[in-house]
Amino acid sequence: MSGFRTLTHVAEREGTRVLAVVPARGGSKGVPGKNLAKVGEDPLIARAVRALRSSARVDEVVVSTDSTEIGAAARAVGAAVLPRPDELSGDVVSSEAVLLHSLDVFEEEHGYAPEVVLLVQCTSPFIATETVDNVVSQILDEGWDCAFTAVRVHEFLWQRDDEGGAVAVNHDAAVRPRRQERTPEFRETGAVYGMRVPGFRAARHRFFGRIGLVETPAKHAIEIDTPEDLAIARALAATIEPSSAEVDVDAVVTDFDGVHTDDRALVLQDGTEGVMVSRSDGAGVARLLAAGIPLMILSVERNPVVAARAAKLGAEVLHGVGDKAAVLKNWLAEQRLDPARVAFVGNDLRDLEAMALVGWPIAVQDARPEVRNAARLVLSRPGGSGAVREVADLVLHAVERRKEQ
């Protein structure tokens, strides 16, 4: 059995703390081929994998499947694929059984267990990366044993009795309080569940110990079980998800401080500096380079940490430059690159002139307002927290689309 060792995006990591498992069976009675059905521009399985791979809190993503087609779609967007044995391929197999199998294989191949396992259902098409981060945070940062996604509801619920009559469930039928007067109730969305691995193995169920809840917006709470659900999801995607930008470029150039970092530095007693970087960003750069898309770091700072990070990434670096625009123009000419097919990712005023030279000026989420206004695309992630990974995923998505055409 294999699948985990094929992953390349964790090469930098010393170990996997958070493992995300996406169960995706090939058969579906309610909606045939459901997990490969498209919502927006991507099949459901790809949407789930992209949300997880964009998370700075998730170390590995594995898709457990009995379908070669689903496996191919999952690999195409960077997931590991774990072939599911026959005894786990039926429609009555529990998600917990799939998680336990995935953990068993992971521990056999790696020699240790992850701290947290996520169960992520791709039939929830609107999983936000922030939601994934919040589920992990509930467990690792806030100390809950498990956590799940839920949406706030205010419905008055009823059941039928043995005679077919209506019986109030969650309210007194004679009392109709206003919404704001009622104690909030929450419905599971079915999207993301997180569990501490030792507790999950002991309980063999996704709910145990202290249970945390992550509230999600109502527009993200749809779960696809019927053709009608799929039609609603597609209509909703057209409304809330404008066509994603395809950053169709031949090279990526980035600033360093504020893009690969959060623009802060740790100054030690001897005057040396250190910075925090995202492993997720490093994994994105590795995928870019593997796809033949060069990445160059262009920085005003002449600091050994810039060169050290570039060397670890395998990226070209020009640092200690006074005029970014002039240096970038020369580099583009030397590389014989069409500026219209180059992206520059920046965050501060010194990036503006360089951004104006390329066809894809891009700003990180927390960039200066002037930089955001000059950008063709503003990322959803801030500098140092997955912004470079987000760019890499967008560029690689464009590469994949070209191959399909």
Residue 241: pLDDT band (50, 70, 90) is low
54 and 192 co-located in one domain = yes
Task: Point out the domain boundary residue: 240, 275, 294.
Answer: 240
Show the CA angle centred on residue 209, arms to residues 204 and 210, nearest 5°.
135
Lowest mean pLDDT segment, chosen from 3-7, 237-241, 242-246, 269-273: 3-7
CATH number for the domain harbouring residue 372: 3.40.50.1000
- C-alpha 394/C-alpha 33 separation (Å) is 26
116 and 223 co-located in one domain = yes
- C-alpha 272/C-alpha 267 separation (Å) is 6
Does 242 have pLDDT greater than 60? no
Nearest to 353 by CA among 322, 317, 309, 388: 322
233 and 257 co-located in one domain = no
Please report the pLDDT score of residue 245 as a whole number.
62
How many independent structural domains does the chain possess?
2
Does 214 have pLDDT greater than 80? yes
Please report the pLDDT score of residue 316 as a whole number.
92
72 and 195 co-located in one domain = yes
236 close to 219: Cβ distance less than 8 angstroms: yes
- β-pairing, 251-254 vs 273-274, is unpaired
232 and 128 co-located in one domain = yes
Specify the residue for token string 């501060």. 348
Please report the pLDDT score of residue 322 as a whole number.
81
Phi-psi group of 167: left, alpha or beta (phi > 0 → left; psi -120 to 50 → alpha; rest → beta): beta
List pLDDT tens digits, range 295-311: 999 988 777 888 899 89
27 and 158 co-located in one domain = yes
Phi and psi (nearest 5°) for 377?
-140, 130
136 close to 146: Cβ distance less than 8 angstroms: no
Please report the pLDDT score of residue 11 as a whole number.
35
List pLDDT tens digits, range 262-289: 988 787 777 777 788 888 899 999 999 9
77 and 38 co-located in one domain = yes
Task: Point out the domain boundary residue: 205, 240, 275.
Answer: 240
Does 195 have pLDDT greater than 60? yes
Asked whether residue 276 is domain-assigned, the answer is yes
Whole-number percent of the chain with pLDDT over 90? 61
370 and 390 co-located in one domain = yes
Lowest mean pLDDT segment, chosen from 97-106, 243-252, 255-264, 364-373: 243-252
Residue 5: pLDDT band (50, 70, 90) is very low
Average pLDDT over residues 362-385: 88
Asked whether residue 306 is domain-assigned, the answer is yes
Show the CA angle centred on residue 381, arms to residues 375 and 384, nearest 5°.
105
Residue 243: pLDDT band (50, 70, 90) is low
Residue 251: pLDDT band (50, 70, 90) is very high
Does 23 have pLDDT greater than 70? yes
103 and 223 co-located in one domain = yes
Asked whether residue 246 is domain-assigned, the answer is no
Please report the pLDDT score of residue 178 as a whole number.
85
153 and 229 co-located in one domain = yes
- C-alpha 52/C-alpha 61 separation (Å) is 7
CATH number for the domain harbouring residue 8: 3.90.550.10
Residue 353: pLDDT band (50, 70, 90) is very high
Residue 355: pLDDT band (50, 70, 90) is very high
Please report the pLDDT score of residue 6 as a whole number.
41
Please report the pLDDT score of residue 13 as a whole number.
42
What range defines the domain where residue 376 resides? 251-404
DSSP structure string for 212-230: EEEE--GGG-----SHHHH
Task: Point out the domain boundary residue: 215, 240, 265.
Answer: 240
357 close to 336: Cβ distance less than 8 angstroms: no
- C-alpha 285/C-alpha 293 separation (Å) is 9
Whole-number percent of the chain with pLDDT over 70? 94
52 and 13 co-located in one domain = yes
Asked whether residue 333 is domain-assigned, the answer is yes
Does 348 have pLDDT greater than 70? yes
Nearest to 135 by CA among 45, 217, 57, 200: 57
Residue 8: pLDDT band (50, 70, 90) is very low
List pLDDT tens digits, range 140-175: 999 999 999 999 998 899 999 999 999 999 888 898
21 and 70 co-located in one domain = yes
Asked whether residue 245 is domain-assigned, the answer is no
